[in-house]
Structure 1
Amino acid sequence: MSRRRILIIRPDRIGDVILTTPLIREVKRTFPDSHLGVMVGPSSEPLLRHNPHVDSIIVDDPSGADAGWPGFWRQVGRLRSERYTVGLMPLPRERHAWMMFWAGIGTRIGVGGKLYQLLTGTKSVSRRKYIPLRHEADYVMDLGRRIGVVTKNLHPELFLTDAERAEARRWLEERGIDLSKPLIGLNPVSKNSAPNWPITRYRELAERLAARYQLYINTGMPGGTEAASLEGINGTVLLDAPPLRRLLAVTSCFSLLITPSTGTLHIAAALDVPTVALFCPLTACSPALWGPLGRNADVILPVPSYCQNECPGDPKVCPLDGTSLETVLSSVDRSLARG
């Protein structure tokens, strides 16, 4: 029997790719002799480095190196040359449905019921309007279940080398961090992917935390406005806009990470770093759907009266005013006490 060759396509954001790593692991566990390739976007590719379950990482950059029809057909040619027999597409994208079709991948499974899936003969799993509501990682695993995966293990995974961990420790220590003491990570950036505090509230939180703990603040992209808003805080405070692999390695050194619902939350969960996560109860933003899957996770929701009476109804503009500074600080103390 020829070796099974399986392709998983997940070209979107950091958190989405991390929540696909349980599928990657469980597919490889179920079919240990298979060749497993994963297609991702260029910004997410570093997440899969050193993953022992992945045999091939394929980067698809439709707005850059793989733009237009030439880029599309080049990718089709690569997939055809790698002779994939099964394709799993957790994020419905017309580009990738046709890509798998023209690459001759015999078994193609996606999500939902788009017209292009019908035209390409792509089989589908349904999320049934999110009723009952399950975790995104569980919905993603449904594609694996269609090909024979049986599991309840939804824990995400990221892999760091010993050299990367050692370099992160050295990098932090050179900047005045004493790793024998608690180091709090703070990620105030969500890029409008979920409700979030304004940066002024994060500065208040940082000032309170810095009076008691060492603090590392991820300010997002270099040159962003967040960095300027968080400068000049007294205490041992390190501002950084790290590349992704360094962010992973530095996060592994945290005693705790405070963050809204964003990719950095799932980085910490995958590395088993305790988290305090700011969430919203709206279905599309719910912790039941997007919550951290790591150990020692505290999820903080606004007080019910805020959501009932003042919710703007748009998670992209919600300032989470119903979540108080004191609630977050109390959660930090509880999490650190648990160790």
Structure 2
Amino acid sequence: MGLTQIIKDAIFGKYKKKQPKIIDNPQEIFPNAKKILLLRQDRIGDVLVTIPFLKVLKENKTDLQIHILLGKKNIQTAPFIKNYCNKIWFYNKNIKDTIKLIKELNRENFDLIIDLFDNPSQTSSLLLTFLHSQFKVGIEKENLKQYTHIVPMKSKTEVHIVERIVNLLLPFGINPEGLSLEISLDSNLFATNVLLPKENYKVLGINLSGSSPAKNWGVENYITFINLIAKKYSNIKIIVFASSNLKEQQEEICIKSNATPAPITSSLIEFVGMLKQCDFILTPDTSVVHFCAAFKIPAIVLFSVPEIPPKLKIWTPYNSVYKAILTTRELNMIKPSEVLIKFEELFGE
């Protein structure tokens, strides 16, 4: 065994002797808990799929003080969850700030800490090592010995991530089975900057941005697809969304297809406010998928997966209409004609 693996195992608590208690049915394990901390210092989409958990917990435990830890990549989601959390903390990934944060969090005297990750996180594991709390809860996985209590991991091949996370309601005596779960956002948060005046047409939004270059469908594919849509549908207007690093691609696509470029903004709230005006959205697998679910916008989502059918359940829009296109190759190998067929199916529903 190499040194790297030994360090990783230590971080995940594998050398600890004590096993966590398994909570596999609804029972009130922490009746005296007054203040809890949730660990969610990852990406935008991870916060969005946690909203159903937060909403149910807040509705059922109205006196519970809920604090949550966000990170650099998802701190802009804070307005989306402020109604469910008493305080939002920021994790900045450097040693000096982390030491300061741990001291501040320990002064809060949390009764309980919950790790919301369903994959083992080294950051969460390290934080759990240094944060003081009598009880620490997580989903059953590789770093399970960092917890005092665990809930079973629901099948990653069959169960949506939203439903895997709400299993963490079990120690609060809440049965997650049969709950009406939605990714909901307060519409009042979003500006009404009108992209296109609503007339007798539908708006198709195309999101170019993904979490990595591998999630870019390619300029020529977008141009071809938009021109196919324009040829077939006279009642559809197309808006192209992009982050600042894809501005040149956005401009080229719009010039060669007569689509409308959406204003580029660094504000997540402004971006989502514009997305909200669309009747349909085409996007790679990214956080936009979950905004589609929040506003019930029918979506076409492009996924690159290791195998078909995928062994792990893909993060599709939850409880919302969508069409998924899967490939085991790069996304740019998906043909525009394939996407057109899926749009035709979506448009006809």
Aligned twin of 1:105: 133
Aligned twin of 1:308: none
Shift of 1:201: 1.0
Q: Which amino acid aligns with 1:72?
A: T
**Would you say 1:160 and 2:172 are equivalent positions?**
no
Give the match's secondary structure for 1:232. Answer: helix
Shift of 1:220: 2.3
Shift in alpha-carbon separation, 1:193–1:292, aligned structure 2, 3 A: farther
Shift in alpha-carbon separation, 1:221–1:236, aligned structure 2, 3 A: closer
Shift in alpha-carbon separation, 1:244–1:287, aligned structure 2, 3 A: farther
Deviations 1:22-56 (A, max 9, x none): 11112212212211122111331222305322222
Give the match's secondary structure for 1:293. Answer: coil
Deviations 1:85-124 (A, max 9, x none): 1211122333333434433222212244446x53x45533
Q: Which amino acid aligns with 2:250?
A: A
Deviations 1:150-192 (A, max 9, x none): 2333421222326x332x32xx2xxxx2223311110133234
Structure 1, unmatched stretches of 5+, are 303-310, 313-317
Identity %: 16
Partners of 1:301 and 1:106 lie apart in 2 by 44
**Would you say 1:96 and 2:118 are equivalent positions?**
no
Which one of 194, 203, 207 corresponds to residue 223 of structure 2? 203
Shift of 1:149: 2.8
Structure 2, unmatched stretches of 5+, are 1-30
Q: TM-score, normalised by structure 2?
A: 0.76
Q: Which amino acid aligns with 1:298?
A: K
Partners of 1:208 and 1:293 lie apart in 2 by 29
Q: Is the 8 A contact 1:197 1:319 kept in 2?
A: yes
Q: TM-score, normalised by structure 1?
A: 0.78
Shift of 1:283: 7.4
**Would you say 1:56 and 2:80 are equivalent positions?**
no
Shift of 1:255: 0.7
**Would you say 1:319 and 2:331 are equivalent positions?**
yes
Shift of 1:195: 5.8
Note the 1:136-155 alignment, pairs <5 A.
136-151=161-176, 152-155=179-182
**Would you say 1:330 and 2:309 are equivalent positions?**
no
Partners of 1:4 and 1:283 lie apart in 2 by 46
Shift in alpha-carbon separation, 1:333–1:210, aligned structure 2, 3 A: same
Shift in alpha-carbon separation, 1:258–1:287, aligned structure 2, 3 A: farther
Aligned twin of 2:12: none
Give the match's secondary structure for 1:233. Answer: helix
The worse-fitting range, judged by mean Cα deviation, of 141-150 and 11-20 is 141-150
**Would you say 1:178 and 2:178 are equivalent positions?**
no
Q: Is the 8 A contact 2:191 2:270 kept in 1?
A: no
Deviations 1:265-320 (A, max 9, x none): 11111122221222356379678431111432222345xxxxxxxx45xxxxx236
Taking only aligned residues, the RMSD between alpha carbons, in angstroms, comes to: 3.0
Aligned twin of 2:279: 255
Paired residue total:
308
Partners of 1:76 and 1:268 lie apart in 2 by 35
Note the 1:1-339 alignment, pairs <5 A.
4-51=34-81, 52-62=83-93, 67-68=94-95, 70-91=96-117, 92-114=120-142, 118=145, 120-127=146-153, 130=155, 132-151=157-176, 152-161=179-188, 164-166=190-192, 168-169=193-194, 172=195, 177-180=196-199, 181-192=201-212, 197-210=217-230, 212=234, 213-222=236-245, 226-242=249-265, 243-280=267-304, 282=307, 288-301=313-326, 311-312=328-329, 318-319=330-331, 321=333, 323-338=334-349
Q: Is the 8 A contact 1:214 1:236 kept in 2?
A: yes
